[in-house]
A and B are shown apart, each in its own frame.
Chain A
């Protein structure tokens, strides 16, 4: 997002302007925070440093970044002019791509959760076998 284009409130007493500025600045902060969280996810230590897992996380993180970029593009299109049917039609390709990326993120996330659960189950069963062996 281009922070230079953030509307500046009237320094004297423009309540609407101040609210808008606070909202925009909060959105910028939130976006920075979200990207920070994505970077953390990307580099979070895996239980087993297998390259498949590392690549998986890098891909997921880039998908998150794609959704942010697409979200910005949609927002830019919608705020640039009055919302009309034509405007929405022009925005549609970006929305479609945004949804495609978001679907991948959720699908990959559930696969990751399943994989983690499976690994945990296996670890438990192995330790059980060890107990029996002893």
Chain B
């Protein structure tokens, strides 16, 4: 498998998504390209991290053209011949037009990443605008190359829609590639992408993962570009009959995942952040169709509506098991519950005294335990795992657990807040 990124840390991240050491591609122009890219590295500056991630610091491989791209072209032409620069694809030329710097490098407002070999020599460049050495989109090539390994331990490859995302995926040690061209994936590419998959494989060996939150700005909703791309991908099924879920995933961190990532970021520890993100990736990735439902439902659904929807899904599953719908409904119910109760308790809204904060945190703990023991939640989760929901059955153990939690919460609620009449309980 090809290499998409490399971390500059000596100590590798303990994440299953951590990048492998790169392997030198066999390329007759490799040496020349390496020398050209080394020159590019010298003539460019380090790209600073996005503001929200400033604590992570810059990396040597993430570069930015310092001034006008033409100045870099002139500087490179003084060192290499036009033929060498064109062969290495560092420069491009339209028929009859002037020589231009490859769009992969961008300009002073964007950035690019230098990929390196084991000896840390630059061998390729990648940005949200594409990959220097690949004429066709890399995401397309990756899936085609991995077709024969379909279904075996599918690996997530994050799709970077902008350079800031690319910077962070690289810095945090995730496998990624440029999403260039995905927003307008054409019929021919669809055929190539899905046609190569073995007939019986339910999914490709590579799962191209759209990032459903604005990681660079730390905004817990997807960018318009991702939403448009997702809608386009969902049209593949009705138009061509291929299941986009066999190749694509959408990473939509839950509110708890998002808070965990933010908490980790507050410590400026990229390993901790990477761990929180890996955990979220493992639990909060959805097939495109399901992701559309999650996104639709995330728009301020109340606990009552979420509960009703899950109830109806479980009821309808008596005829046809609606596993994916049940998973989405449970996620939505949990989201609504956390939004209306747990998050407020965790932030201890309005609490000033340590006693009140402690009381609030304790209540948040009880709330989560109680929610997990609800019959409807257990039934939804069973259904989501492809098991019989068993909602009609009465689970005595769960019921006893709920009663215990209710009693504890009643005691806690009955305790006087610290500010109440100025007395400590």
Contacts and interface: CB of A to CB of B under 8 A. Distances in A.
A59 B406 contact: yes
Contacts of A94: 394
Contact of A100 (B337, B341, B403): B403
Contact of B303 (A43, A66, A107): A43
A51 B403 contact: no
Interface stretch (B29-37, B63-71, B408-416): B408-416
Contact of A51 (B308, B340, B374): B340
B303 A58 contact: yes
A104 interface: yes
A43 B375 CA distance: 19
User: How big is chain A's contact interface, by range?
Assistant: 20 to 34
A91 to B, nearest CB: 13
B367 A104 contact: no
Interface string A59-100: 100110010011001000000000000000000011001001
Nearest to B391: A69
A87 B200 CA distance: 53
Given A51-B345, A104-B403, A59 B374 contact: no
Chain A residues touching B, majority SS: helix
A97 B303 contact: no
Given A43-B304, A58-B303, A51 B406 contact: no
A44 to B, nearest CB: 10
Nearest to A62: B374
Contacts of A101: 399, 403
A52 B394 contact: no
A89 B381 CA distance: 33
Given A42-B304, A55-B367, A59-B406, A70 B413 contact: no
Contact of B409 (A43, A55, A66, A100): A55
